[in-house]
Structure 1
C-alpha cells in the first residue's frame, strides 16, 4: 500500500503566496504595514511550498516499510521493527492532535535518533509519520499495518476507544481546564489497556482524588456536569475491571 501525500499543505502555501501578492498589487492606506504583512505571507508560503514539494514516499508491504521523507530515506524490513504504534497525542485545549505512527526498532537496530517514546512502556521510538501528511484515513493505514506487520503493530487509537470511548465534551465559559480533564481520561484509558490491576487501581484513585479536590477552572473549558459524568463512568469502568480481576483470582 502506497500512502499519498495530503494536498492541504500545498493549498495553504499557495493561498499565502497569492494573498501576499494581492496585498502588494493593490495599494491602500498604511502601505508600510501592508507591505510587511504581504512580504511575510509570501515568505511563509514559499517556505511551506518548498517543504510540501520535498520528496515523500511511504509504502507498506510484505517485506517491510519504504520511507522517503526529510531525515529518513530507507527501506525498513519487518525484522528491524520491534513495535509499531498508531497513537494520538493528548489533546491541546480540547482540540485533537493528528494521529502519528511510532516505530520502536528491534534490539540492536539503529534507524535514526529516537524522537518519541512508546506511549505504554516508554521504550525509545521514532516518529515515522504524522497522519495529517497523507490522504488515507487512520483506519486504512491501520488495516494495512495489521495485514503486513502482524503482532508488531498496535492500533492504540482503536484499543483506547474499545476500552473507554468518551463523548466529545461541550466547551463553554468557566469550565473545567480541558488539558487536565483530557489527561485524566487518557490516564484511565491506558490503565484499562495495561492489564495491570495495580495500574487500574492507581488511575482510579487519581481520578477520584482529582474530582474530590475540585478540578481547576478556566475561562474556557469543559462543561462541569458533562465532564463529571464522563469521569464517573471512567471510574466505574476501572472498578468493574478490578472486580473482574478479583473474581478471576478466586
Structure 2
C-alpha cells in the first residue's frame, strides 16, 4: 500500500497506459515521405505531392497518438487527462460507472468503453455521449479500452475495488460475484 500526503494507507491506485501499437504505420508514412521528398529528380511533381501528403497525414496521426494521456483509478476518484477532458473526478461526483460493449459498427466489433453517470448537479459541463447500459441514464464516455494496454478484467477489478457499488461490469470481465449487472437481468 502507498501512503498519501498525510501518511495514511490508501490502497493501490491503478494507472492505465496508452496502447502504442498504432505508432508504426504513421511513423513509416513520415519516414517514407521524408525519404521520397529528399530524393533528387526532375519533373517529380506527383512523387513530391504524394510524399508531402504522406508526411502530413502521418505527422497528424502521430501528434494525435502522442497527446498527453493519463487515467488513474484511485481511492480518491478518477484522474483523467485525455483530449477533451482534464480533471480529477472525486467519487462523490460519480453516481455510476459501467464497463460496456457498444454496438458493432459496419459489422466490426467495437472495443469496450467506460461510461460515467455524474451525480446530480456535478460535472454538468461534460458532454453526454452515451447511456448507462442497465438503466439508460445519460452518461459520458470516459475511456475507450481499445486504446489502453490493460485488459478489461484488470480495469474492472480496480473499479470494483475503488468504486464499489457505483460500478457495473456488463462485459463480465471480472469475477462472477463482482458482476452487479447480472442481478438486473430478468430470467
Same fold (TM over 0.5): yes
Query: Which contiguous aligned blocks of 4+ residues in structure 1 show a shift greater than 6 angstroms?
Result: 27-30
Q: Which residue of 2 aligns with 1:195?
A: 185
Aligned equivalent of 1:9: 22
Q: Count residues in correspondence.
A: 167
2:153 equivalent in structure 1: 139
Q: Which has the larger radius of gyration?
A: 1
Question: Does the alignment pair 1:50 with 2:41?
Answer: no
Matches within 5 A, 1:230-245: 241=187
C-alpha distance in 1 between matches for 2:121 and 2:40:
62
**Partner in structure 1 of residue 82 of structure 2:** 69
Pair 1:119 & 2:109 matched: no
1:59 aligned to 2:56?
A: no
User: Which of 85, 106, 110 is matched with 2:119 structurally?
Assistant: 106
1:88: Cα distance to partner? 1.5
| Aligned equivalents of 1:57, 1:73: Cα separation in 2 | 9
CA distance in 1, matches of 2:114, 2:40: 47
Q: SS of the residue aligned with 1:21? A: helix
Cα deviation digits, residues 202-234 of structure 1 (max 9, x gap) = xxxxxxxxxxxxxxxxxxxxxxxxxxxxxxxxx
Structure 1: which 5+ runs fail to align?
A: 163-189, 197-240, 242-250
User: 2:166 corresponds to which residue?
Assistant: 152
TM score, norm. by length of structure 2: 0.78
Looking at structure 1, the residues matched to 43 and 100 of structure 2 have their Cα atoms a distance apart, in angstroms, of: 47
The one of the two structures with greater contact order (alpha-carbon pairs below 8 A, sep at least 6) is 2
The question of whether the paired residues in 2 share the 8 Å contact of 1:9 and 1:48 is answered with: no
1:44 CA displacement: 1.4
Query: Structure 2 regions of 5+ residues with no counterpart?
Result: 1-13
Find the counterpart in structure 2 of residue 40 from structure 1.
53
Measured against aligned partners, the alpha-carbon deviations of 1:157-191 in whole angstroms (never above 9, x if no partner) come to: 117xx8xxxxxxxxxxxxxxxxxxxxxxxxxxx9x
Aligned counterpart for 1:93 among listed residues 106, 109, 125 = 106
Once the two structures are TM-superposed, the CA of residue 34 in structure 1 deviates from its matched residue by 3.0
Going from structure 1 to structure 2, the CA distance change for 1:89 and 1:33 (only over 3 Å counts) comes to: farther
What secondary structure sits across from 1:158 in the alignment?
coil
**CA 195–18 in structure 1, closer or farther in 2 if over 3 Å, else same:** same
Q: Distance in 1 between matches of 2:93 and 2:116?
A: 10
How much does 1:30 deviate? 9.0
User: What is the RMSD of the two structures over their aligned residues, measured on CA atoms?
Assistant: 2.6
SS for the counterpart of 1:149 is: helix
